């Protein structure tokens, strides 16, 4: 009895909401074009970036950036923001490998160097639980600061949920977004008689592997260098498609489960079709391997596309093609990754407000297409419906399919303990691949270590909610 009416109510409400959002989304997008910073204060009550930023003109904010395409894209856009607001945006580019340490040292060292902080999908639990990132509701509920066109619902839900939100509180807006995608060299595959990429990992191993591995060329490369690359890109990538997982539903380590072991053993076997020093390959080597024509297929982050389409860095500009990551017995479970931008709790209130305005602007729907054209990967759904952009960026399709259909928010758990666990996986995972420890021994060792960490953190005693 009750359900249908509730549902009807829900539909009504969401229609209303959508209409409202639609209207508000159109308004500011048109505004700057019509009146470029002329007299923003005129229409009382109407929100404009210029007006909202007026109290913060002259403020300088520091961002944590990486040396990746999405950040270079943002750097291209920043002058526009600075001109409109008078807020100075500085950035510090650091290697990913140091970025968590740098930020943690800044948070715990009370240096307050960074205002606009970078939150990896796997750090959000740590940053939120430690109180280093400010809950963003403080800003988006403040009419003076919140752009009516903000539209949080316009982000791919999986992105906002997994690297923006912790325990139902939003801490960051998705900025540099990745899905694992199968990049392949169509020419090499065609030469070997294949008219498409493998749909499953089984096929990759049994059919494509032997056919494509010869004369110093390799069928596949899986970046596995010790670090987050090993734990996220290599280790977790083979666990999920085989039905395994890091933790089971009771939060117990699950690496000794048959499915998890199957995935790890598969990786071990697949190494015969990978370059011999694959354990030392990071993203760079892997991308180079494909771009230089030495490797036929890689499963890498979508953000690398620019490397393959630029003739200066790629020999395979005309051969690059894309597909969703191969499926395992448990289906396709592509890697999910990415970064959101958040506001540091150590910054002064003015800097925090200025930072929010910047984050809101750079991740907005209005700027999403410019961001993509400058080389970024936006988290806004609307941007990917543009036919012109679709034609220009053929990798959109597997990307959107991965986010919409196969999104796995717990691809890596996001709780504060992950960095410590990742460190252990990175070490034992590489040792496994090198053969200095067997898969079973390694999995058992990791199980024990992970349990100890979770035990100490109080998950089993019920002191802490079992959040991933």
Partner 1 sequence: MTVLRRRRRLWTDLWQAVLALCLAGIFLLPVYWMVTTALKTTTDTFAVPPVLIFQPTFEHFLAVYTEGPVLKSLVNSLVVATTSTALAVLIGAPAAYVLARFNFRGKADLWFWIISNRFISPIVVALPFFLIARDLRLLDRHPALILVYLTFGVPLVVWLCVDQFRAIPREVDEAARVDGANLGQVFFRINLPLAMPGIAVAAILAFITSWNELMFALVLTSTEARTAPVEAANFMTGFGIRWGPMMATGTLIVLPVLLFALLVSRSLVRGLTMGAVK
Partner 2 sequence: MRHKFRVNWPAFSLIAPAIIVLLAIGIYPLLFAVNISFRQYQLTKQYLGTGYVGLQNYITVFNDPLFWESLLRTGQFFLLTVPLQIVFGISIALFIDSIRWRPLSFLLRVLLVLPIAVTPTVVGLIGRLLFNRDFGLMNYLLGLFQIAPVSWLGEPVPAMLTIALVDIWQWTPFVALVMISGLAIVSPDVLESGRLEAGQGWNLFWHVQMPYLLPGLTAVLILRTADILKLFDMVFVLTRGGPGVSTELVSVYVQRVGFRVFDLGVASAQAILLLLLCIVLSRGYIRLFYREVEA
Q: What residues make contact with partner 2 under the rule CB under 8 A?
A: 97, 101, 104-105, 108, 126, 129-130, 225-227, 276-281, 288, 292, 416, 419-420, 423, 427, 430-431, 434, 436, 456-457
67 binds, among partner 2, partner 1, none (CB under 5 to 8 A by kind): partner 1
Q: In whole angstroms, give the CA distance from residue 418 to residue 468.
A: 9
408 binds, among partner 2, partner 1, none (CB under 5 to 8 A by kind): none
> Of 291, 297, 277, which Cα lies nearest the Cα of 209?
297
Minimum distance between the CB of residue 152 and partner 2, rounded to whole angstroms?
28
Phi, psi of 336 (to 5 degrees): -120, 135
284 binds, among partner 1, partner 2, none (CB under 5 to 8 A by kind): partner 1
Please tell me the number of Cα atoms within 13 Å of 385 on its side-chain side.
7
Q: In whole angstroms, give the CA distance from residue 101 to residue 106.
A: 8
Q: How many residues in the chain? A: 468
Minimum distance between the CB of residue 162 and partner 1, rounded to whole angstroms?
20
* Interface residue list for partner 1 (CB under 8 A): 62, 66-68, 92-98, 102, 105-106, 108-111, 113, 223, 225, 227, 229, 282-284, 287, 307, 312
Of 232 and 354, CB closest to partner 1? 232
Secondary structure (3-state) at 188:
helix
Q: How far is CA 384 from CA 88, 179, 338, in A?
A: 30, 14, 17
297: β partners:
184, 220
Minimum distance between the CB of residue 343 and partner 2, rounded to whole angstroms?
19
441 binds, among partner 2, partner 1, none (CB under 5 to 8 A by kind): none
Secondary structure (3-state) at 47:
coil
Can you say whether the dihedral through the CA atoms of 100, 106, 107, 113 is positive or negative?
Answer: negative
Of 386 and 431, CB closest to partner 2? 431
Secondary structure (3-state) at 149:
coil
Concatenating the DSSP letter of every residue in 16-44 gives: HHHHHHHHHHHHHHHHHHHSSSS-TTSST
Q: In whole angstroms, give the CA distance from residue 82 to residue 345.
A: 23
Minimum distance between the CB of residue 107 and partner 2, rounded to whole angstroms?
9
Q: In whole angstroms, give the CA distance from residue 21 to residue 28.
A: 12
102 binds, among partner 2, partner 1, none (CB under 5 to 8 A by kind): partner 1
Question: In which residue are the tokens 């952009």 written?
Answer: 389
229 binds, among partner 1, partner 2, none (CB under 5 to 8 A by kind): partner 1
Within 10 angstroms of residue 193's Cβ, the number of other Cβ atoms is 7
410 binds, among partner 1, partner 2, none (CB under 5 to 8 A by kind): none
Minimum distance between the CB of residue 443 and partner 2, rounded to whole angstroms?
16
Minimum distance between the CB of residue 281 and partner 2, rounded to whole angstroms?
8
Using left for φ > 0, alpha for ψ between -120 and 50, and beta otherwise, residue 258 falls in alpha
Q: In whole angstroms, give the CA distance from residue 61 to residue 456.
A: 37
Of 10 and 109, CB closest to partner 2? 109
Minimum distance between the CB of residue 217 and partner 2, rounded to whole angstroms?
13
276 binds, among partner 2, partner 1, none (CB under 5 to 8 A by kind): partner 2
Of 267 and 283, CB closest to partner 1? 283
96 binds, among partner 1, partner 2, none (CB under 5 to 8 A by kind): partner 1
Of 176 and 259, CB closest to partner 1? 176
Question: In which residue are the tokens 């180079």 written?
Answer: 288
Of 26 and 434, CB closest to partner 2? 434
Minimum distance between the CB of residue 374 and partner 2, rounded to whole angstroms?
30
Minimum distance between the CB of residue 225 and partner 1, rounded to whole angstroms?
6
């Amino acid at each position: 009895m009750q359900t249908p009416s509730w549902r009807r109510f829900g539909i009504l409400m969401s229609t209303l909401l959508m209409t409202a959002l639609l209207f508000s989304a159109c308004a500011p997008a048109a505004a700057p074009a019509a009146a470029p910073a002329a007299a923003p204060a005129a229409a009382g009550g109407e929100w404009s970036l210029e007006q909202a930023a007026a109290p913060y003109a002259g403020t300088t904010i520091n961002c944590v950036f990486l040396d990746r395409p999405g950040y270079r894209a943002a750097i291209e856009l920043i002058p526009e923001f600075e001109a409109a607001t008078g807020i100075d945006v500085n950035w510090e580019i650091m290697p990913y490998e140091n970025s968590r340490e740098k930020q943690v040292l800044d948070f715990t060292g009370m240096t307050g160097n960074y205002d606009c902080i970078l939150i990896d999908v796997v750090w959000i639990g740590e940053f939120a639980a430690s109180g280093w990132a400010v809950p963003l509701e403080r800003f988006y509920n403040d009419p003076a600061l919140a752009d009516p066109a903000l539209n949080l619902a316009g982000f791919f839900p999986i992105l906002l949920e997994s690297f923006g939100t912790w325990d139902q509180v939003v801490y960051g807006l998705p900025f540099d977004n990745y899905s694992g995608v199968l990049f392949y060299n169509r020419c090499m595959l065609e030469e070997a008689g294949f008219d498409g990429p493998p749909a499953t990992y089984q096929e990759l191993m049994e059919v494509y592997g032997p056919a494509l591995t010869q004369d110093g060329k390799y069928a596949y490369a899986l970046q596995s260098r010790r670090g987050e690359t090993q734990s996220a890109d290599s280790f977790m990538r083979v666990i999920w498609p085989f039905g395994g997982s890091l933790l089971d539903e009771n939060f117990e380590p699950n690496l000794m489960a048959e499915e998890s072991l199957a995935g790890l053993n598969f990786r071990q076997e697949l190494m015969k079709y990978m370059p011999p020093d694959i354990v030392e390959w990071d993203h760079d080597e892997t991308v180079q391997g494909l771009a230089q024509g030495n490797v036929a297929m890689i499963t890498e982050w979508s953000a690398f596309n620019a490397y393959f389409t630029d003739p200066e860095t790629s020999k395979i500009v005309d051969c690059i093609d894309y597909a969703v990551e191969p499926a395992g017995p448990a289906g396709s479970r592509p890697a999910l990754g990415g970064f959101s931008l958040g506001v540091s709790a150590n910054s002064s209130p003015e800097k925090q407000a200025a930072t929010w305005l910047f984050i809101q602007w750079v991740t907005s729907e209005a700027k999403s297409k410019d961001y993509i054209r400058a080389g970024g990967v936006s988290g806004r759904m609307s941007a990917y419906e543009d036919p012109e952009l679709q034609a220009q960026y053929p990798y959109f399709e597997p990307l959107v399919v991965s986010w919409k259909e196969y999104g796995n928010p717990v691809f890596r758990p996001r709780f504060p303990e992950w960095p410590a666990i990742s460190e252990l996986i990175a070490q034992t995972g590489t040792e496994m691949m090198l053969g200095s420890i067997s898969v079973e021994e390694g999995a058992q060792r990791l199980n024990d270590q992970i349990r100890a960490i979770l035990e100490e953190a109080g998950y089993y005693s019920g002191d802490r909610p079992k959040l991933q």
